[in-house]
Amino acid sequence: MNPIRSLPGHPLAIILLLTSLAVLASGCSDDDPAGPGAVIETVEETVELLLTARGSEDVPLGSDADGVTTVEVGEEFTLELSYIDHREETERLGAFQVYIDLLADQADVLRPVVGETLRLVVGEEILAADPSGSISFGLEGSLDSYSTTGAAFIADPEGELIAALSQFGYVLAEDYTLKRWDNGGADIGLQITWNNARHGNEDMPDLSMVPDFPESVPTQIVEFSPFGPDGVTVNSAALRFNVDTRSRGFNGNQEFYANLVDAEYAPATGFTRVGGVGPAVVGGIPEASDDGSIPQPFDAFSLRVVVVAPVAGLTITATPSSRGDAVLMYGQEAAVALEYIRMDGDHMLKLDAVLP
């Protein structure tokens, strides 16, 4: 399999534009700089970072009297980043952008659990092609196949791909997630990410997609394998698809920081630039929320990880990302300066890993 190591990035201008939009629309004026829509440039302890380890069924892992959490070698768990907005209640809109580093003080013992991602593209030519033409799906190692007409695929691309994967024994939500992927044109793009809790760090069977039309209809499948060609090196290009941006306190576990999601991994240090950007809403999380509230703490995102060797006193620390603006708050134009981000111990975890 050929891992893809880089993708076209989203310009930083998008982030700056969305932030400026939120500030300008807040209603602040030069005549009333302290009014309800005022922009707070700096407030002591604007935001506080919290790091939690969670096990099966999303339950927090316990710790002993010294604050040390014990896991078994090979036991998978999640590292969840949440935060508290410490601004005044009327200004408490949450964070617009959050990127952090998750740094381990011992090398090559903490590793990510990565599910493979596929991006399927069917060229826009299908829209004008003979609707009775077909697309056939196959799976490496399987004698089964699934075929659909061009008309049916155009009408419901997600439904047809779900039906194809069902033919091969895979179930939506249990085995994979599926979403539309916009590549900037009229092509039809679909993205499959294999569930890392069930298929983590697996080299999944290749999926094939073969068009059969009188006209030329180009198709492509781009694979983001968990590992590089050596089968050992983590493919950071695949890792970013495995950042779980669902928030249990937001609209029944909906995603929030689902834009410009990023994450990188280095065995010597851990994870860098983990996070994403929220929606462009002037009123922040309360406006986007069904009930108009902001849960405190707000769980932003999580990563599934595993400790691969016995270790004592492994410390994992969540810090603002050293790459670019780490934290931007709704209602504030400037990024939160490091001195206004509280990190008083709850941003760290201490782990022991023992053999099963």
Residue 198 dihedral angles phi and psi, to the nearest 5°: -110, -35
Rounded Cα gap, residues 216 and 125, in angstroms: 7
More confident call, 284 vs 11: 284
Is the pLDDT at 47 greater than 70? The verdict is yes
Q: Note the pLDDT of residue 6.
A: 34
Rounded Cα gap, residues 297 and 204, in angstroms: 37
pLDDT digits (tens, 9 = 90+) for 158-217: 999 999 999 999 999 999 999 999 888 899 999 999 999 999 999 999 999 999 999 999
pLDDT digits (tens, 9 = 90+) for 244-283: 999 999 999 999 999 999 999 999 999 999 999 999 999 9
Percent of the residues in the chain that have a pLDDT greater than 70, as a whole number: 88
- Within the chain, all domains assigned CATH 2.60.40.680 are found at 12-113+236-354
3-state secondary structure of 351: strand
Q: Which residues fall within 8 angstroms of residue 9, CB to CB, at 6 or more apart?
A: none
Q: Which residues fall within 8 angstroms of residue 243, CB to CB, at 6 or more apart?
A: 261, 262, 263, 274, 275, 276, 301, 302, 303
Rounded Cα gap, residues 181 and 53, in angstroms: 31
Residue 143 dihedral angles phi and psi, to the nearest 5°: -90, -10
pLDDT digits (tens, 9 = 90+) for 213-237: 999 999 999 999 999 999 999 999 9
Rounded Cα gap, residues 177 and 184, in angstroms: 21
DSSP helix, strand, coil percent of the chain (3-state; round to 5): 15, 40, 45
Placement of tokens 């069917």 in the chain: 122
Q: Note the pLDDT of residue 70.
A: 98
pLDDT category at 336 given cuts 50, 70, 90 is very high
Q: Note the pLDDT of residue 184.
A: 83
Average pLDDT value for residue range 120-147: 97
Cβ distance 86 to 43 under 8 Å? yes
pLDDT category at 134 given cuts 50, 70, 90 is very high
Question: Vertex 318, ends 315 and 322: CA angle to 5°?
Answer: 120
Identify the CATH assignment for 12-113+236-354 out of 3.40.50.300, 3.40.50.1220, 1.20.1250.20, 2.60.40.680.
2.60.40.680
Q: Note the pLDDT of residue 221.
A: 98
Note the Cα 213 to chain centre separation in Å. 36
Q: Note the pLDDT of residue 35.
A: 44
Q: Note the pLDDT of residue 260.
A: 96
Average pLDDT value for residue range 95-115: 98
3-state secondary structure of 261: strand
Q: Note the pLDDT of residue 23.
A: 40
Q: Residue 298, exposed/middle/buried by CB under 10 A (0-12, 13-18, 19+)?
A: buried
More confident call, 67 vs 5: 67
Mean pLDDT of the chain: 90
Rounded Cα gap, residues 263 and 240, in angstroms: 5
Q: Note the pLDDT of residue 45.
A: 83
CA neighbours closer than 13 Å in the CB half-sphere of residue 283: 10
pTM: 0.85
Q: Note the pLDDT of residue 57.
A: 86
